[in-house]
C-alpha cells in the first residue's frame, strides 16, 4: 500500500469525506501528517502553500511527513519540501455549477456575495459585486483554479487553458470526480493498492437539502462563462477519469467493486448508526460529533448506536467524526502537549 500522499483538498467537492478516509488510514498505519502550524485547520489558506506553514518543519533539518491533506493553495516546489519524493498526488473535483451554488450558501458572508439575495442576482451582473482586488474573491470565481494555485481572473484563451491543464497533469498522478464518488473510491483503492475497508466512508460535511436550489438554464450558462477556467479543468478531468478507469480497472470490474463498496457501507451504516443516516445539527446527540455550522448551510451529522463493543465503537466513531475534531485528535497524538 502507498503511504506517502498529497491530497489537494478542493473546497466543496466531497473533500472532507476523502480527508476522513486519509485520517483513518494514517491513524491505522501510524503515519505522520503535515499539520498546519499550531494545530490549525488550514495551511495559511488563501496564501500559496509554504513549507514553513507546517508544524515541525525546519529548513535546517527537513522532516518529511507521510500525508499532506489540509486546505492549502497548491505550490508544488514548497510541497516537495515536506513530503517524500515518492508521494502520490491526487485531488477531487466537482461540477462547477453545483460547486458555486454550494459556495454561495456556505460563503454568503464574503464580499462578493454579502450584498446579493441570490446567486442569480449575482450572476446577472457579477462585476457589480465582485472585486478582483478583494482578499476573499476566490470564493466567488474559479475556486478550483485558485486552489490549484492559478489566477482565478486569468485569461481563458485556449492556449492558456492548455498550459494550465498540462501543469496540473504534470503535478498530479490522478484527479477524482465527486459526482462519481464510489467509482472514484474504487480507482483510489486501485492506484494506492489499498483494501476495500480503507476507502469506505459516510458522507461528511454535507448540507441539508432544504438549503439547496436549482438554477435556471440562463444562470447555468452565465455561471459556466463566469467560471470558464474551472469549467475547462472539470471537463478535461471528467473525461480523463473514465479513461483512467478503463485502463486501471475496466468497466466490468468497476461495477463489481462499486457494488461491493456500497454493500459494505450499507452494512456499516446498519451496524454503526441510529436511524437511516445523517441528521440535522439539532438532532445530533453527542456534541463531540457536531460538525462546524458555517455560513447559511445546515451541516448534517450522525448519531451512533449505543452499546457497541469497544473495538466496533471506535471504528464507527472514526467514520463519523467531523474533520475539525478528527484533525485535533490526530494533532495531539503526533505532537503531545508537554506534561504539566
Mean per-residue pLDDT, 105-113: 94
Q: What is the residue-averaged pLDDT of the chain?
A: 95
Pairwise CA distance, residues 86 & 73, whole Å: 21
Confidence at residue 33, expressed as pLDDT on a 0 to 100 scale:
98
Cα–Cα distance measured from residue 174 to residue 188, given in angstroms and rounded to the nearest whole number: 9
Could you state, in order of their start, the residue ranges of all structural domains in the chain?
5-330
Structure confidence by residue, pLDDT tens digits, 236-286: 999 999 999 999 999 999 999 999 999 999 999 999 999 878 999 999 999
pTM of the model: 0.96
Q: Where are the beta strands (DSSP E) in 110-244?
A: 174-177
- Could you tell me what percent of the chain has a pLDDT over 70? 100
pLDDT at 36: 98
Contacts of 293 (CB under 8 A, 6+ apart): 281, 299
pLDDT for 297 equals: 77
Across the range 48-65, mean pLDDT stands at: 93
Q: Each residue of 198-223: pLDDT tens digit? A: 999 999 989 877 777 889 999 999 99
Residue range 5-330 forms a domain whose CATH class is: alpha beta
| pLDDT confidence band for 62 (50 / 70 / 90) | confident
Cβ neighbors of 163 (< 8 A, separation 6 or more) are: none
**154-173 pLDDT tens trace:** 999 999 999 999 999 999 99
Task: For residue 46, say if its preceding peptide bond is cis, omega within 30 degrees of 0.
Answer: yes
Amino acid at each position: 500500500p502507498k503511504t506517502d500522499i498529497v491530497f489537494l483538498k478542493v473546497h466543496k467537492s466531497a473533500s472532507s469525506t476523502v480527508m476522513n478516509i486519509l485520517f483513518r488510514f494514517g491513524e491505522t498505519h501510524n503515519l505522520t501528517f503535515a499539520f498546519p502550524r499550531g494545530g490549525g485547520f488550514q495551511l495559511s489558506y488563501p496564501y500559496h502553500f509554504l513549507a514553513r506553514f507546517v508544524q515541525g518543519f525546519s529548513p535546517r533539518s527537513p522532516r518529511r511527513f507521510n500525508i499532506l491533506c489540509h486546505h492549502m493553495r497548491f505550490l508544488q516546489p514548497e510541497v516537495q519540501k515536506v513530503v517524500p519524493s515518492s508521494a502520490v498526488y491526487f485531488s477531487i473535483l466537482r461540477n462547477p455549477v453545483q460547486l458555486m451554488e454550494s459556495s454561495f450558501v456556505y460563503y454568503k458572508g464574503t464580499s462578493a456575495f454579502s450584498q446579493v439575495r441570490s446567486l442569480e442576482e449575482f450572476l446577472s451582473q457579477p462585476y457589480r459585486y465582485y472585486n478582483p482586488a478583494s482578499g476573499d474573491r476566490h470564493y466567488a470565481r474559479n475556486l478550483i483554479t485558485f486552489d490549484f494555485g492559478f489566477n482565478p481572473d486569468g485569461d481563458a484563451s485556449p492556449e492558456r487553458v492548455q498550459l494550465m491543464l498540462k501543469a496540473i497533469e504534470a503535478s498530479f498522478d490522478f484527479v477524482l470526480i465527486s459526482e462519481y464518488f464510489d467509482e472514484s473510491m474504487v480507482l483510489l483503492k486501485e492506484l494506492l493498492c489499498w483494501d476495500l475497508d480503507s476507502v469506505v466512508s459516510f458522507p461528511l460535511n454535507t448540507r441539508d437539502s432544504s438549503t439547496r436550489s436549482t438554477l435556471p438554464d440562463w444562470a447555468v450558462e452565465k455561471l459556466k462563462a463566469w467560471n470558464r477556467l474551472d469549467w475547462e479543468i472539470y471537463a478535461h478531468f471528467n473525461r480523463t477519469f473514465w479513461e483512467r478507469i478503463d485502463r486501471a480497472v475496466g468497466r466490468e470490474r468497476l461495477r463489481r467493486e462499486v457494488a461491493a463498496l456500497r454493500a459494505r457501507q450499507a452494512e456499516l451504516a446498519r451496524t454503526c448508526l441510529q436511524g437511516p443516516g445523517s441528521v440535522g445539527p439539532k438532532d445530533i446527540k453527542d456534541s463531540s460529533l457536531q460538525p462546524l455550522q458555517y455560513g447559511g448551510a445546515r451541516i448534517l451529522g450522525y448519531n451512533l448506536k449505543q452499546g457497541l463493543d469497544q473495538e466496533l465503537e471506535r471504528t464507527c466513531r472514526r467514520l463519523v467524526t467531523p474533520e475539525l475534531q478528527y484533525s485535533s485528535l490526530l494533532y495531539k497524538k503526533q505532537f503531545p502537549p508537554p506534561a504539566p
